[in-house]
Chain A
Amino acid sequence: MSNDKMSMSEIIDELHNIDTLFSRYRSIESSLSDLSYKMEEETDQVRHEHVKLLMEFENKQREKTIAKKPAPSRALRLAPPTPPQKPEISDPDKNIKKSVIAGLAFWACIALVVFGLAMGGTFYGQILQFVCVFPAAIAGFIWHQYSNKVDMFLAWRNEQKEYDKKQQVWKAEFAKKATDADNARLLGEFQAYDASFLKFVEICSKEFADQYTARHVAGLQRIADKYEKKEEELRSQAAEVRAELDSVTLIHKNLFENAWRIAAILETGRADTLKEAINLALDEARKDEEEEARREEARQQEEILERQAEESRRHNEAMQRAAEREAADRRAHDREMERAAKAQARAAEAQAREAAKQTEMAREQSSAASRAASARCTNCANFSKCPPNARKNSGSCGAYRPM
């Protein structure tokens, strides 16, 4: 039926019908998508299980089948493990030719001077001494500048001798350990290792081949069988609905999504014609989308602010805990200092008491001595003749005469 000949109510009914068909189509598509997702999940599960069982099999077989790793050659287990290191030469200038020439020249001049002296006061002897003294001095000066190079060279020669000795020790150690028997041992162990490893690979390969069909392929087939019928049903329903929608001529297929809006606008009388209603519906749809976008943005902003507030709260809590810990540490420290001070004070007090006691004892001893002295004087026959000053030392008084 063409649009022109349809009445408003027929148009509205047709729009509702389109909406129903379209919703049903959408629902079938959604079901197909869910089905596909479930199939994929179960397929992944089968694959995952298959891989897990294969790995477990491999691990078990590895422990059971592969021989012990060969032990490395004894020649690699020396002490020291590597050949001795050559001594480092620090001074790149190894040319001692000049040093030797200067040294030999010096000694030659000295020899000539000595020879000249040995010739005594003869003319030639004196000529010889005169001619050779200055060259000897110059050669001596130059020789003095270069003589340290000779010392260095002799030190290198000694290092080289030490190095040779260390090499001999190393060679002896190597000869003891790098034997044909050890070589044969290593190769024998490798042969056993090779054989066990190849057997292990063979067993695992067989397991892989067997289980690939038995487990993996069979599992996938089971899933395919399970969902195939359902999928076919849904696809056929979708095809039917699609065919019905394709036969719709009232509105363009791009507007099927908004068929309910168009119908509502016509029903409420907001538009008089289908064209007006379509335009209004598209406008409303656009506004709804914008509103949805705004709401989404606001929601995201709120999430960000909440996250920031949470982080700030956590940061503050952490700072507070740190401050409390610091205060507690400080209090503990103060208590400790107070305890130490009190202990010191108690010790000082005890010391003072002890000192006072000692003083008191000394005083008592002194007064006891005075009393004894006084009693002695009272019993003395010369008491009346004795001046008062003398009575203080009555203990050592020579004039004491008992009555």
Chain B
Amino acid sequence: MGFFRSPMTLIGLSMQRKKIVAELEGHEPEWYFTQEGEQAYNNAKTKADKVLYFFDYLNAVAGSRGNRDTLYRAAYVMANSMDSSSLDFSGYPNILKTDKNPLVRTAALKPSEPAVFGLMSLSILHGSDNASDYLEAKACPYKFLTYSADDGSMSDLYKIERDIIGAFCLEEDGEYVPPYMYDIIDSEIGPDSDDEEDYSDDE
């Protein structure tokens, strides 16, 4: 069949070749910082377009080991609350930078489980590298979170934190939703207390 393709088809294919290949293969992370990449960001007007833009970017950053479901959730949070916030990582190109956006940095580390991804992102957001603190009641991780004011107003950081928890941690089974972890002994004694010996497990 290919043998009988008309010359017009051949010319049309030759002109569209690069575009088709680029769209099918996807772009490298560096492309998103070029003029074309910036143009694509500016062309993403709706939230859905932004989600797709960030989703493609995170897939490029995470590579073959990225989990599509987890990266989609991250792209959703980026589009929903991060991009339009007043924080350091909002807007182009900061929203894409590994050293500014905690979700991009976490994607580069390639954890696949949603809850792990979420807690790592939260810990980086709060300036810590120790995500395990967010799973241990002893560290009282709920204290690291921001809370809404008494009048009900919510800061951008609050919205981003809750978006991250909502996207990654709500489906976890367990008594508590991470990082809302509490244990009446461990949380009250704390990690460095002298009273720790009194409550050692004697069973």
Contacts and interface: CB of A to CB of B under 8 A. Distances in A.
Interface string A225-265: 00000000000000000000000000000000000000000
A340 interface: no
Contact of A178 (B10, B20, B23, B48): B48
B49 A171 contact: yes
Contact of A159 (B13, B24, B159, B162): B24
Contacts of B6: 107
A81 B162 CA distance: 20
A100 B170 contact: no
B198 A47 contact: yes
A150 B17 CA distance: 11
B2 interface: yes
Secondary structure at chain B's binding surface: helix, strand, loop or mixed?
helix
Contacts of B49: 171
A73 B159 CA distance: 13
Interface string B37-49: 0000000001111
B26 interface: yes
Interface in A198-219: 198, 200-201, 204-205, 207-209, 216
A191 B148 CA distance: 7
Nearest to B49: A171
B52 A83 contact: yes
A148 B2 contact: yes
Contacts of A57: 184
Closest 3 CB pairs of A and B: A147-B2, A58-B184, A171-B48
Interface of A: 44, 47-48, 51, 54-55, 57-58, 62, 69-73, 75-76, 81-83, 85-87, 89, 94, 96-97, 99-100, 103-104, 107, 143-144, 147-151, 153-154, 156-157, 159-160, 163, 167, 170-171, 174-175, 178, 183, 186-187, 190-191, 193-194, 197-198, 200-201, 204-205, 207-209, 216
15 contacts: A58-B182, A73-B80, A83-B72, A86-B24, A94-B17, A100-B11, A103-B10, A150-B9, A175-B48, A178-B48, A183-B80, A190-B162, A190-B165, A194-B145, A201-B142
Interface of B: 1-3, 5-7, 9-11, 13-14, 16-17, 20-21, 23-26, 46-49, 51-52, 55, 68-69, 72-73, 76, 80, 142, 145, 147-148, 152, 154, 159, 162, 165-167, 170-171, 175, 177, 180, 182-185, 187-188, 198-199, 202-203
Given A103-B7, A198-B142, 17 more contacts: A72-B166, A73-B76, A75-B76, A75-B80, A76-B73, A76-B76, A83-B51, A86-B24, A99-B10, A147-B3, A153-B20, A157-B16, A174-B48, A190-B166, A191-B154, A208-B184, A216-B198
